């Protein structure tokens, strides 16, 4: 890679490059290489181990879709847990909901938080919010040990390699289930249906061992390989379409991507994805 670009060299012979104006931050943490650049057209961008995590230009898509879909389905989300999400964007969207009294965030890598805090105010602005409780630590260990209960848990993880690998496993989801209240919802970063059908099938299958409702939903962004990307919604009973609080989104102000039509449409899956997940999708 030359200095003019930062690139994500994805497996399967596919590389995405973003032109760079300035390199802002580069740190080899205990867990991964964390880089922040100022790109020419996509704003500040965060990369972990060479994989694009955040661009200012389109981060709102991912963060709106991980947060507002479950928080507008849960009738009264008061206590929310974010696992990962060290840039702050997910917690920022969670805390737009006045019902949320506390958002607990457990990020394993302080370098991600520190770099974002210094260079990506668009997402890290949330760190001054008094309703946020930030813990630097291992989300897997936190879930295994905590006695707290949550209404909504958001697993805002990186890909299932390196530090995030156990976040895609059954022990973790057993603990997620245990720490959710009766009306609880979990949403997990669900990988790319184009390039990671097996990881997606595995995650949906594991979540289906615990939850009555398991429904993937999709969004498209500019920076993740292949564009199309998934979250997996799972709950103890709430249905992501039937139970959405109609009109409640209007109190939240402006969105870049989310709206009630997109909420509903995002659960419509392309045929290749349905085939890959056949037998695993659970409606109550």
Ordered strands of the 79-84 beta sheet: 132-136, 102-107, 79-84, 150-156, 180-189, 228-235, 213-220
The candidate with the shortest Cα–Cα distance to 239, out of 218, 211, 262, is 211
Catalytic residue (choose from 156, 159, 239, 254)? 156
Q: How many CA atoms, within 13 angstroms, populate the side-chain half-sphere of residue 22?
A: 6
Binding mask 181-220 for a second copy (x = CB under 8 A): -------------x-----------------------x-x
Q: Which stretch binds a second copy (CB under 8 A): 16-24, 69-77, 112-120, 167-175?
A: 16-24
Asked whether the beta carbons of 71 and 235 are under 8 A apart, the reply is no
Minimum distance from residue 251 beta carbon to a second copy (Å):
16
Say whether residue 265 binds a second copy (CB under 8 A).
yes
Minimum distance from residue 238 beta carbon to a second copy (Å):
21
Q: Which stretch binds a second copy (CB under 8 A): 25-33, 98-106, 133-141, 225-233?
A: 225-233
CA distances from 261 to 112, 188, 241, 267, 283 (A): 33, 21, 10, 11, 20
Minimum distance from residue 205 beta carbon to a second copy (Å):
22
> Locate tokens 């012979």: which residue?
13
Q: Kindly tell me which residue out of 262, 276, 280, 281 binds a second copy, with binding defined by CB under 8 A.
A: 262
Quick check: is 243 catalytic?
no
Minimum distance from residue 153 beta carbon to a second copy (Å):
26
Q: Kindly tell me which residue out of 12, 30, 98, 198 binds a second copy, with binding defined by CB under 8 A.
A: 12
Binding mask 146-185 for a second copy (x = CB under 8 A): ----------------------------------------
Structure tokens at 239: 């249905």
The candidate with the shortest Cα–Cα distance to 24, out of 16, 13, 36, is 36
Number of residues that bind a second copy (CB under 8 A): 40
For the chain, where are the E strands, in sequence order? 5-10, 14-28, 33-39, 44-48, 51-55, 79-84, 102-107, 132-136, 150-156, 180-189, 213-220, 228-235
Return the SS3 of 152: strand
* Beta carbon nearer to a second copy, 199 or 222: 222
Binding mask 59-98 for a second copy (x = CB under 8 A): --x-------------------------------------
| Residues identified as active-site | 156
């Amino acid at each position: 890679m030359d200095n003019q670009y930062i690139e994500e060299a994805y497996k399967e012979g596919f590389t995405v490059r973003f032109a760079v104006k300035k390199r802002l931050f580069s740190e080899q943490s205990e867990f991964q290489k964390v880089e922040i650049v100022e790109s020419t057209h996509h704003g500040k961008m965060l990369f972990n181990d060479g994989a694009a995590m955040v661009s200012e230009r389109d981060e709102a898509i991912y963060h709106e879709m991980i947060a507002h879909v479950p928080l507008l389905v849960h009738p009264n989300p008061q206590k929310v847990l974010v696992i990962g999400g060290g840039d702050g964007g997910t917690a920022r969207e969670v805390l737009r909901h006045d019902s949320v009294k506390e958002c607990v965030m457990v990020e394993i890598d302080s370098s991600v938080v520190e770099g974002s805090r210094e260079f990506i105010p668009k997402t890290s602005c949330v760190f001054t919010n008094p309703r946020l409780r930030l813990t630097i630590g291992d989300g897997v260990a936190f879930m295994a040990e905590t006695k707290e209960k949550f209404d909504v848990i958001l697993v805002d993880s990186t890909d299932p390699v390196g530090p995030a690998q156990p976040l895609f496993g059954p022990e973790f989801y057993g603990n997620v289930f245990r720490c959710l209240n009766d009306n609880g919802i979990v949403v997990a970063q669900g990988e790319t249906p184009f390039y990671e059908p097996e990881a997606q099938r595995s995650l949906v299958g594991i979540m289906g061992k615990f939850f009555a409702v398991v429904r993937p939903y999709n969004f498209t962004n500019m920076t993740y390989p292949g564009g199309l990307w998934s979250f997996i919604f799972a709950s103890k009973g709430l249905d992501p379409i039937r139970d959405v609080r109609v009109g409640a989104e209007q109190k939240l102000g402006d969105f870049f991507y989310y709206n009630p039509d997109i909420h509903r449409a995002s659960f419509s899956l392309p045929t290749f994805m349905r085939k890959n997940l056949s037998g695993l999708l659970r409606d109550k």
